[in-house]
Amino acid sequence: MRSKGKSLLTRAETTVVALVRDEERFEAVIAPAPPEAQGSHELRYLWNRRPFISRVFQRSTFDTLIASVKALQDELTGRGWHVVVRNV
């Protein structure tokens, strides 16, 4: 699936967005879902490079999922976080 001309759903792990503030780092990463999962891909939120939330999703819900990541990115940048990687 394509978003703004970029293919994000690949077989490898892809960082959707990474933000930093002081010594803290937040990342949203998309990766292929584990074989036992009920979906095709997994969204992982990482805090200081450690996973703290993950959600498995189907390829057909990708646009909705990216919209929620974008909303979270907007909220964090409004709180003083700085974007260091953006793939949406």
Tens of pLDDT along 34-53? 888 888 899 999 999 998 88
Residues 47-78 have pLDDT tens digits of 999 988 888 988 888 888 889 999 999 999 99
| pLDDT of res. 62 | 86
The model's confidence at residue 9, banded by pLDDT at 50, 70 and 90, is: low
Between the alpha carbon of residue 35 and those of residues 8, 20, 24, 88, the distances in Å are: 19, 32, 32, 26
Count: domains in the chain: 1
| pLDDT of res. 10 | 56
Backbone dihedral angles phi then psi of residue 86, each to the nearest 5 degrees:
-145, 120
Supply the pTM of this predicted model.
0.79
Strand partners, 44: 29, 54
Place of tokens 């409004």: 78
The model's confidence at residue 1, banded by pLDDT at 50, 70 and 90, is: very low
| Domain ranges, residue 56 | 2-86
